[in-house]
Amino acid sequence: MTLAASFLGGAKSRLLPRSIPFRFFAAAASFHVLAWLVLLVSAGEATRFRGGLGPALAAVHLLTLGVLVTTAIGASVQLLPVATRRTMHAVWPIKLIFWLTVPGLMALVVGMYEAKTGILVPASAATAGGLLLFCGLLADNLRRAGSLPVVGAYGWAALVMLVLVIAFGVALSLDEERGFLPDHGAGALAHLILGGFGFMGMLALGFSHVLIPMFALASAPAKRPSLASFVAASTALVLGTLGALAGSRSLLTVAALVGLGAAALHLWLMHRVLKTGMRKRLGLSFVLIRAAWIMLPVTLVTGLVALYGLAGDNGGTLFGFLLLFGWLLTFLVAILQRIMPFLASMFVAPQAMGGSPIVSELANARSLRIHAVCHGVACAVLVVAILLENATLARLGSAVGLIGAIAFAWFTADAIRRIWPTS
């Protein structure tokens, strides 16, 4: 039995009310538009961003917290119970997570944009509260799940990373006000590694072991090489975080090389899944997934080259851009445009009972094609803008990215419209 069959078998009985996952997806689609808009406004500063409060940092957190983390929460509270066959105990904690995290991150972004610590510090506490509650929910679900050891391992690692990225985030916010950290820059780099490669990276790699076989109608990757890739990725994360905190170039170099090994093994496993899968025509979303898979090693190599000052003055900025926009955002919007129609199809009448073929109709939406082209062009133009430190090019790239984000929001709104009961 393929993973898809066992996954789908239990799905309907573990469905949360439609407003639960889709409120997170709707929020993420809105923050996606805002992230590109704020990047457009701060384009001049963004091409040479090296941290510090201001509009560029606000754009980074509209993307990281607003799009990546919000989607990760919405997807995991619905997909994990289906994958682990363990229902969530109650729905109210998820609603509380939403009402703490989303308003909290909006205030956090305003505090960053305006460089006002009087807003930044309480907002980071509210956001941290919501995210820690999510950590509790995730831990409870993972604790009761034994059937998927590889996904479980990635889930626990992502959970530990999220607790650490929150801790560093709150410490960095407090340090803006009180200046107690021995090395703020080192803390910020560790925070980036824990958030980008740690929480989001481990979640993306872990969910790939369930979702890619499900989409390709294939069996799950072999356990041993999967666990080897997990161990290598975790080792790279530990070395990378320690290297950032110690300011050690050699530790960061070893971390990047081990990370490249983990990425190569993961990509080989995913290649095997697609090769053995029964479904060969995987559609537009897999054009984006394959692009994201290329961006992962490209990001690590760029980090290495930047570490030795060989990627130009803005090597560090380019590394951060490729990590967040090139790999993570590309992968996430690709997965989101698959899971939203899949989840939506659970809430509408099956075709046999007069329902519309929602999955295929949504998958072929013109909005997705507009988004994919704009996303690709925007990322390419912004890479050149960062290398040349050219604000005009950065504005052009951000404007194209904004059009793409609006198209994706249109797709999200269309999916939600179709599942909302009219009477």
Q: Under the rule (CB under 6 A), what is the footprint of ligand HEM? A: 51-52, 57, 60-61, 64-65, 68-69, 108, 124, 127-128, 131, 165-166, 169-170, 172-173, 176, 184, 188-189, 191-192, 195-196, 199-200, 320
Taking the C-alpha atoms of residue 255 and residue 235, their distance in angstroms, rounded to an integer, is 7
Q: Which is nearer to ligand HEM, 124 or 226 (CB)?
A: 124
The minimum distance between CB 41 and ligand HEM, in angstroms, equals 18
Q: Which is nearer to ligand HEM, 169 or 277 (CB)?
A: 169
Q: In residues, how long is the chain?
A: 423
Q: Which is nearer to ligand HEM, 139 or 170 (CB)?
A: 170
Residue 56's contacts (CB-CB under 8 Å, 6 or more residues apart) are 39, 42, 45, 46, 49
The minimum distance between CB 109 and ligand HEM, in angstroms, equals 10
The minimum distance between CB 321 and ligand HEM, in angstroms, equals 10
Nearest to 2 by CA among 227, 215, 294: 215
Cβ(223)–Cβ(209) below 8 Å? no
Cβ(117)–Cβ(173) below 8 Å? yes
Residue 75's contacts (CB-CB under 8 Å, 6 or more residues apart) are 21, 24, 207, 335, 336, 339
Taking the C-alpha atoms of residue 365 and residue 283, their distance in angstroms, rounded to an integer, is 11
Taking the C-alpha atoms of residue 111 and residue 132, their distance in angstroms, rounded to an integer, is 21
Nearest to 388 by CA among 29, 43, 40, 61: 43
Nearest to 9 by CA among 1, 21, 19: 1
The minimum distance between CB 67 and ligand HEM, in angstroms, equals 10
The minimum distance between CB 132 and ligand HEM, in angstroms, equals 9
The minimum distance between CB 173 and ligand HEM, in angstroms, equals 4
Nearest to 413 by CA among 27, 35, 12: 27
Structure tokens at 267: 């990509």
Q: Which is nearer to ligand HEM, 207 or 411 (CB)?
A: 207
Q: Which is nearer to ligand HEM, 124 or 141 (CB)?
A: 124
The minimum distance between CB 101 and ligand HEM, in angstroms, equals 9
Q: Which is nearer to ligand HEM, 43 or 68 (CB)?
A: 68
Nearest to 337 by CA among 288, 404, 291, 285: 285
Q: Which is nearer to ligand HEM, 341 or 401 (CB)?
A: 401
Q: Which is nearer to ligand HEM, 112 or 363 (CB)?
A: 112
Taking the C-alpha atoms of residue 125 and residue 147, their distance in angstroms, rounded to an integer, is 35
The minimum distance between CB 335 and ligand HEM, in angstroms, equals 16
